[in-house]
Structure 1
Amino acid sequence: MNILIIEDEQPINHVIKAYMKKVGFTTFQAFNGKEGYDLFNSEQIDFILLDIMMPELDGISLLKKIRTTSNVPVIMLTALNDQQHILESFEHGADDYITKPFTGEEVIARTKAVIRRTTSGKLPDDSIRFGQLVINPAYHTVKVLKKELNLAPRDFSVLLFLAEHPNQIFSRDQLLDHIWGFDYEGSDRAVDLAIKRLRKALSSWPEHEGQIETVRGHGYLLKVEDRLL
Structure 2
Amino acid sequence: MSTILLVDDEPQIVEILSSYLQKDGFHVVTAETGNEALELAASLHPDCIILDLMLPDLGGEEICQKIRSHSRVPILMLTAKSGETDRVHGLEIGADDYLVKPFSPRELVARVRAVLRRAGDYQALTDQVTVGDLYLSFGDKRIRKKDGWLELTPNEYRLLTTLCRYPGRTWSREELVAQVLGYDYDGFDRTIDTHVKNLRHKIEDDPKNPVYIKTVYGFGYRFENPGKN
Match of 1:4, SS state, is strand
Q: What are the Cα deviations for residues 196-216 of structure 1, in whole angstroms up to 9, with x where unaligned?
A: xxxxxxxxxxxxxxxxxxxxx
Q: Which residue of 1 aligns with 2:29?
A: 28
Q: Which residue of 1 aligns with 2:201?
A: none
Match of 2:65, SS state, is helix
Q: Which residue of 2 aligns with 1:17?
A: 18
Match of 1:53, SS state, is coil
- Greater gyration radius: 1
User: 1:115 & 1:46 partners in 2: Cα distance?
Assistant: 7
Match of 1:55, SS state, is coil
**Is 1:115 matched with 2:111?**
no
Q: What are the Cα deviations for residues 162-187 of structure 1, in whole angstroms up to 9, with x where unaligned?
A: xxxxxxxxxxxxxxxxxxxxxxxxxx
User: 1:98 & 1:83 partners in 2: Cα distance?
Assistant: 12
Counterpart of 1:33, as a letter, is: G
Q: Which residue of 2 aligns with 1:51?
A: 52
User: 2:8 & 2:69 partners in 1: Cα distance?
Assistant: 21
Q: Which residue of 2 aligns with 1:221?
A: none
Match of 1:54, SS state, is coil
Counterpart of 2:11, as a letter, is: Q
5+ residue gaps in structure 2? 125-229
User: 2:43 & 2:119 partners in 1: Cα distance?
Assistant: 23
Q: Give the superposition deviation at 1:85.
A: 2.2
Q: Give the superposition deviation at 1:44.
A: 2.8
User: 2:4 & 2:123 partners in 1: Cα distance?
Assistant: 19
Match of 1:77, SS state, is strand
User: 2:112 & 2:99 partners in 1: Cα distance?
Assistant: 10
Counterpart of 1:116, as a letter, is: R
User: 1:61 & 1:81 partners in 2: Cα distance?
Assistant: 19
User: 2:123 & 2:23 partners in 1: Cα distance?
Assistant: 24
Q: Which residue of 2 aligns with 1:4?
A: 5
Q: Which residue of 2 aligns with 1:129?
A: none
Instruction: Give the 5 Å matches for 1:138-217.
Output: none
User: 1:87 & 1:63 partners in 2: Cα distance?
Assistant: 14
CA shift in 2, pair 1:97/1:11, >3 Å? same
**Is 1:39 matched with 2:57?**
no
Match of 1:17, SS state, is helix
Residues matched between the structures, number: 123
- Report runs of 4+ in structure 1 exceeding 3 Å deviation: none
Match of 2:38, SS state, is helix
Q: Give the superposition deviation at 1:121.
A: 4.5
Q: What are the Cα deviations for residues 45-96 of structure 1, in whole angstroms up to 9, with x where unaligned?
A: 1100000111111110000000111000000000111223211110011100
**Is 1:105 matched with 2:103?**
no
Q: Which residue of 2 aligns with 1:67?
A: 68
Q: Give the superposition deviation at 1:120.
A: 2.8
User: 2:109 & 2:67 partners in 1: Cα distance?
Assistant: 22
* Worse-matched range after superposition: 113-122 or 94-103: 113-122
**Is 1:92 matched with 2:84?**
no
Q: Which residue of 1 aligns with 2:80?
A: 79
Match of 1:5, SS state, is strand
Match of 2:45, SS state, is coil
